[in-house]
Structure 1
Amino acid sequence: MQQLKYFLLFLLCIPVFSNAQDKNTTALVGNYLEVNGSMGQYNFAYDELLKMLKGRYPENNSNAEGWKYLKENKTKAVGEMKTLLIPIYETNFTKEDISKMVSFYTSATGKQLLTDRSKMNPAQKEKLNTFYNSEVGKKIIEKQSILGTEISKASEGWSRDLYETALSLLK
């Protein structure tokens, strides 16, 4: 009977442990999406959408609340995109892979790659080649097609929903 209690306690704890790891991995992937420039691109896309809409639907008394909502909810909307991207990376990469990817993009070489690839010095170019010749680099290259398809699908849905929401608020 005592063994049964311990076994049941063990079974109850498994979801807690796996959930904690999932949260850690999710946070790590979220960090990766920030440091690799992905979320910056979605912030830019949101800003560009508002610029485009500003020309078609200038702010006035009838749509002021809609504009207020769109301006105040950028962080939430971009966060929703991050939420769509995280499972794509969790499915295709291990926590260790993501850790290595974060390390690369937070290095001077990774930062220069994102800032201006054409200004990379020879040592940085060598580090970039070393990274892409590593196991995780090869995995990134191998999964480019899958990632591209899945990310495009998520991005298109997010963009479409955002645009439709914006139009409904501004018309």
Structure 2
Amino acid sequence: MRTNLITAILILFALQINAQSLDEKIENLLELDGTIRNIENLITQTIDYQKQNNFGISDNYWEALEKKVTKKSLAEFKTLVKPVYSKNYTESEIDNLITFYNSSTGKLVTEKQPIIIEELNLPLMQWSQNLGSFIIEEIENRGENESTSDEKEKFKTEFKDKYGLQILNLTDLAIDKENNIGDLLIDFGKTDGKKDVTKIIRVKNNSNKEIEFQEPKFLSNEVIKFDLGNEPLGIGKTRDLKITLIAELAENKSYSMSSINYNNGERIQFGIKYDAPAKEISFKISARKLMFKKLKQDFSKPYVFILKNTGKKDFYISDIELDKQIAYLNWNKETIKPNEETEIRVVFSKQLIAKQKNTDSNLKLEVDLTKGEKGGFSSYANETIELTIE
């Protein structure tokens, strides 16, 4: 009897699937596999972001706005997704996916997937950092082996044939044996971060014409400065091509490609390597403590903290945490360049204070500063500062 009942349910389910149109099946699949739930979460996060930047608007408005936006945006999302699904899946494959996500195993996958993604967040971040470090370490070790005298002579000959230049101080430079980063490796080594370091490529013009050097136009790097001379290098003449590492801008381990342009378009490519100390975030703030004034209206006047970048590196406010949700916050989410100022604005609300049932209006702000450009690939330092209104 039990077997017959299960069979009947499965047949009924199969008939319901077949009765649906392809578009309806795709919508069903988007619900079952968690896609719609993820989109709804994204909409909520977007609304919350705007809520933080538009204080003084009632909660009822935000709730109504979220419903309106969700309805419109979900409809647009489904319109965009359906053609992609119908192009990449046959109707039979979509039926099979729906059957799977309706099964106990499929429901388990949908239920556990967000939890697994969240728990994997930190381990994957560490794994990614370890992967990057390993790759960089392997790259940095290139060119460190001593070259034999035969290899050096062969390199000198090939360099002269290729560029019309003879290198007179090859013992001070490294050869990129794998030739992946360029011909030479300019290794500044481990620096103290205080004094500029200059490396020299001493060359002699062994070609049959003058050679004019120019700084690179596309592979430029603000950390590296060139002194290549202002006049063309005459036939048979010798010159020191100076490459300087700017101490106040260089930081951490770096291995990159650069070049010297010559004769209107040709390039001598080489690697730049250095290991410099990390630079700390440098800032000045107008006041770390402001005095609270009794609220005479529903909202206080803005309390303003002015933050200035006094260093050489960009940073941005990555987050601000309040110890009590009794005020609205507003701050610039973009990168703060050197010598630029930005404001952190705080507005107290009687409604929020009453909602929290809190008679103590003292407020602490934990402000996280992250070095680097907002949205950049990596940041090497951060700092947390504490601001108070009491």
| TM-score, with length taken from structure 2 | 0.22
> Structure with the greater relative contact order (CA < 8 A, sep ≥ 6): 1 or 2?
1
Which structure shows the bigger proportion of residues in helix conformation?
1
TM-score calculated relative to the size of structure 1:
0.49
**Higher strand residue share:** 2
